[in-house]
Amino acid sequence: MRFVYNSFAGRFSDSPRAIHAALLRSGGDHEHVWLADPVHAATFPPDVATVELGSPESIAALEACDVLIANTHTEVEWEKPAGTLYYQTWHGTPLKRIHWDVLWAPEGRLERLQRDVDRWDVLVSPNAASTPYLRQAFRFDGEVAEIGYPRNDVLLAPDAAEIRARVRRELGIPDGERVVLYAPTWRDDVVFSGDDGKIDLELDVRRLVEEAGGHVLLRLHYMLTGRLNAVEHPAVHDVSMHPDISELYLAADVLVTDYSSAMFDFAVTGKPLLFFTYDLAAYRDSLRGFYFDFAPIAPGPLLETTPDLIAALNDLDGVVERSADRYAAFRERFCHLEDGHATDRVIERVLTTPARRP
């Protein structure tokens, strides 16, 4: 079979990467080609075949493949053959509204993306709570497979501790140092403003390091990669170009996020979660909207200022204790399918599911 992979518009990452690796381990007479963004070309292993996303070669690869595995929209105009299977793993449990459910989108954007959705054959859902939202948001009437996310299998893998040690070593972080991963989501008004210039974080990262200690990993959303104004400090690391955030989850001791789906994946690890929600009301009520009331179920405190976040980090044991019941309920609701074997379930379906016919 001929497989084509697309992850975050040209990265070597996420659930497609996990599926690709498992297929290679299992053998079989398969061909594998990745759609690659030249900016991220160096993160692809030298033995992985790639074609530039959007090039004539990428269109040819798509139109000749048996299976396309993606984790986001494949924004390439191609004619999907009747026998091709398009497996959409998507990239997160939705707290914030997506696709047709958003409060606002640039004119024509959703209609353009819907052309890709109409090619999907199977949509992966990470949990039962997400299924109705995903189906509704994408107006998708095909098969929704509730099987968990392949990208999260590594969080429970036997070599998770080795991956953690390797990533920390590569970043130059000494043993015993606490690592905070800051991974905020994107803001529609920033991405669609027409200004592609550099941006500053609302979080005072320098002060955070100086008053809470340890190291901070900065991970911008893939739609903002390369736009961060550098924070010059030896304990601050911009890891936005790191190919796979799952490895960063393992390297970190605590995640700071806002409304990002990173929270649902990181909860698989059982490690602490803190939420820097400086624009909660505006984001929830005007900019994007939520599918459910976040504050009552959040598995950690919602913090509005840098000093609030510093205080929480300096009392992390207390935060963990006070959040324990909500954290447990959160994991039961959103992580119930994360058992380390989602990739196996996806591959079984990929190899046995017929493509939808137009």
CA distances from 111 to 107, 118, 138, 140 (A): 9, 11, 11, 14
CA distances from 310 to 60, 229, 231, 264, 324 (A): 51, 22, 17, 23, 20
pLDDT of 299 higher than 60: yes
Condensed to tens digits (0 to 9), the pLDDT of residues 119-140 reads 999 999 999 999 999 999 999 9
Using pLDDT thresholds of 50, 70 and 90, give the confidence band for residue 76. Answer: very high
Condensed to tens digits (0 to 9), the pLDDT of residues 196-228 reads 788 888 999 999 999 999 999 999 877 777 777
pLDDT, average across residues 34-50: 96
Q: What is the dihedral of CA 149, 153, 154, 158, to 10 degrees?
A: 180
**Structural domains of the chain ordered from first start:** 2-152+340-350 (3.40.50.11820), 158-334 (3.40.50.12580)
Closest among 210, 201, 161 to 182, alpha carbons compared: 201
Condensed to tens digits (0 to 9), the pLDDT of residues 255-295 reads 999 999 999 999 999 999 999 999 999 999 999 999 999 99
And the tokens for 188? 């529609």
Measured from the Cβ of residue 301, the count of other Cβ atoms closer than 10 Å reads 21
**Predicted local confidence at residue 358, as pLDDT:** 46
pLDDT of 229 higher than 90: no
Using pLDDT thresholds of 50, 70 and 90, give the confidence band for residue 357. Answer: very low
Angle at 294 between CA 91 and CA 313, to 5 degrees: 90
Identify the residue whose tokens are 């736009």. 227
Condensed to tens digits (0 to 9), the pLDDT of residues 149-161 reads 999 999 999 999 9
Angle at 136 between CA 132 and CA 141, to 5 degrees: 95
- Spell out the residues 6+ positions from residue 125 whose beta carbon is closer than 8 angstroms to its own: 90, 131, 134, 144, 145, 146, 147
pLDDT, average across residues 82-97: 96
Distance CA 190, CA 192 (A): 6
- Spell out the residues 6+ positions from residue 54 whose beta carbon is closer than 8 angstroms to its own: 75, 76
> How many CA within 13 A on the CB side of residue 341?
4
pLDDT, average across residues 30-37: 97
